[in-house]
Chain A
Amino acid sequence: MRVVELASGGFSWNPVSDVTQMWAYPFMVNAFRAGAIVAVLAGCVGWFLVLRRQTFAGHSLAMVGFPGAAGATLIGVSASAGYFGFCVAAALVLAALPRAGRHSGGAEAALTGTVQAFLLACGYLFVALYKGFLNGVNALLFGSFLGITTDQVLVLFVVAAAALAGLAAVGRPLLFASADPDVAAARGVPVRALGTVFLVLVGATAAEVGQITGSLLVFALLVMPAATAQALTARPALGLALSVLLALAATWLGLVAAYYSPYPIGFYVSTFAFGGYVLARAGSGTLRTVRRLS
């Protein structure tokens, strides 16, 4: 749907007038608010996710949001509840999977992948059972910024605040357990329990991000900005800040672009985040080459 047709005018290269124009619509204000909340949370949690090399787990948790939302709509509950319920439950299941050691990722990944494919199929079944909801599939999979209500923004904010508070409470030991699990365990850091807490945080984050970018494009905010930040710096504090800023920039730029063009938001957010990643990799690669040659 082309939003600009509903709006009063086109893109003008005058940021002030463009922003006033966009923000004249309450749904756009809500979209910017929701985007900001989700971007900050995804930037922080995503940074740890990339550091811990658990992106596959993040992917699976994001996928689970689709059957969650579709199932919730089918039984007449809000899609939000479905996202959070399914994603957090899946995080607990993932955390409970037996883990023989640090490098036993293969069997675990296969199991996760199998269950994830089944759940995606279930999601599609729910959509088919709920006739007339079929138009919403695109939004569930690829995101939408239309019709975000103030109540929804409030829920996003409360969950994000709780998740960020939780992350701040375990931040230092989580970093220790992520970078150096053996020594952390020897120092009495509860490495396994922290892994569970972190997966639940990832579940909540995937549920939040999924409501903006759609289940399939959660990585645009959860992984791309964090991966870009880590390509640019190995400093934890700076990396976290960069990750949040990049996620925020991709989301807001994506919203602006989607508002003024006929193409979907998920595409724009992903494209901006991807562009940032490519630039960062190319830039740091060039820098290394230059340093080696000089």
Chain B
Amino acid sequence: MRDAAVRVGDRTLWSGVDVRIERGEFVAVLGPNGVGKSTLLKVLLGRLRPEPGSEIEVLGARPGRAGDRIGYLPQRRGFDPSLRIRGTDLVRLGLDGDRWGTPLPALLPLPGNRRRARAAADRVAEVIETVGASGYAHRSIGACSGGEQQRLLIAQALVRRPDLLLLDEPLDSLDLPNQSAVAALVGRICHEHDVAVVMVAHDVNPILHHLDRVVYLAEGGAVSGRPHDVITGPTLSRLYRTPVEVLRTSGGRLVVVGGPEAPALHADRHPPHRARPRTEPDVPEGARPVRHFVRGARRARG
């Protein structure tokens, strides 16, 4: 897969974005509020037209043409607690919810009906297992916690085996242990299932050790590259045309100071001295995040 060559020229929100994302790469889109991070995903989905002159190719086609092969997780607020529908149903809707009609009950003895129903149910169970949500997928989605809902939604985005996953702030509104657990999950899916991931994020720290590349958006410009090349004082100062300092804590967390809308990385939400957990407090069995943390950490250092 020679994936997405994204170049958007002359746009009011951002411009000069020049990124190439390979299969199995984990890319974060960063920047201050209102700079158009979510807009970038919508352009990739083909729901917004970029400026003329932009050259954008998604999975070898114009944006909007690769429908089935893109999994999308919009920015969201949790589900209403009174919504009575199971996690499995939600994941199943991700599989075939856009098809007209009503599924026939699996018991009807029509040719192929039972086999199709079984295949769909198996795929749903498999992807729920992948995200480690088997323990609560049968519960009503409104009764699940934020982290549980987010895992089920990632399963929903994954269920059609996409080649590209677009995630809009999936870590927002999660508590710290859940942030790192979901980040580890996305990193694992990305590297093990060879899915390219583009994640819009507010705070780079939970995903820093899983990232292959970051795209930093600013009004009128953008930089992209390896995280530790881009998130540096000189690079960001050049991008925002104002002195920006990047501090690194002993735990490896990054704190950006003095951005145009400081603090762009919302480091104030987390105590900077907090050591990164070695073991995940909220990771279900089967998610195996620890190995990933080590792998991610090594890559980040190198």
Contacts and interface: CB of A to CB of B under 8 A. Distances in A.
B39 interface: no
A171 interface: yes
A234 B139 contact: yes
A182 B98 contact: no
A180 B90 contact: yes
Nearest to A170: B100
Given A51-B84, A186-B74, A234-B84, A169 B89 contact: no
A239 interface: yes
B268 interface: no
B98 A189 contact: yes
B101 A171 contact: yes
Contacts of B45: 186
Contacts of B82: 53
Contact of A182 (B74, B80, B86): B74
Nearest to B168: A182
A176 B97 contact: yes
A183 B74 contact: yes
B86 A183 contact: no
Interface string A226-249: 000011011111010000000000
Greatest chain A CB density within 10 A among B45, B103, B139, B157 is at B103
A292 interface: no
Interface residues of B, number: 32
Given A182-B74, A234-B139, A235-B89, A51 B101 contact: no
Contact of B76 (A172, A182, A230, A234): A182
A230 B98 CA distance: 23
Given A183-B74, A237-B105, A173 B97 contact: yes
Contact of B94 (A53, A167, A183): A183
Contact of A168 (B102, B139, B153, B157): B102
A168 B101 contact: yes
Nearest to B99: A172
A117 to B, nearest CB: 27
B101 A188 contact: no
A184 B98 CA distance: 7
Interface in B119-145: 139-141
B72 interface: yes
A204 B184 CA distance: 50
A155 interface: no
A187 interface: yes
Most chain A C-beta atoms within 10 Å of own C-beta, residue among B76, B80, B84, B153? B84
A253 B152 CA distance: 42
Nearest to B45: A186
Contacts of B67: 187-188
B178 interface: no
Interface in B68-85: 72-74, 76, 80, 82-85
B203 to A, nearest CB: 22
B84 A230 contact: yes
A51 B96 contact: no
Contacts of B101: 168-169, 171-172
Contacts of B90: 179-180
Interface string A185-211: 011110000000000000000000000
A187 B105 contact: no
Nearest to A183: B74
B176 interface: no
A175 interface: yes
B84 A186 contact: no
B140 A234 contact: yes
Contacts of A188: 67, 98
A184 to B, nearest CB: 6
Choose among A173, A176, A184, A186 the residue with the greatest number of B CB atoms under 10 Å from its CB. Answer: A186
Contacts of A172: 93, 96-103
Contact of B100 (A173, A186, A187): A173
Contacts of A53: 80, 82
B47 A186 contact: yes
Q: List the 10 closest pairs (A to B, CB-CB), nearest first.
A: A171-B102, A176-B97, A234-B140, A182-B74, A230-B84, A187-B98, A176-B93, A234-B84, A186-B72, A234-B86
Interface of B: 45, 47, 67, 72-74, 76, 80, 82-86, 89-90, 93-94, 96-103, 105, 139-141, 153, 156-157
20 contacts: A53-B80, A167-B102, A168-B102, A171-B101, A171-B102, A172-B97, A172-B102, A173-B98, A175-B89, A175-B97, A179-B93, A182-B74, A183-B73, A183-B74, A187-B67, A187-B72, A189-B97, A231-B84, A234-B139, A235-B89
Given A172-B101, A175-B89, 20 more contacts: A51-B85, A53-B82, A169-B100, A172-B102, A175-B93, A179-B83, A179-B85, A179-B89, A180-B97, A183-B73, A183-B94, A183-B156, A187-B94, A187-B97, A187-B98, A188-B67, A189-B97, A231-B84, A234-B85, A236-B89
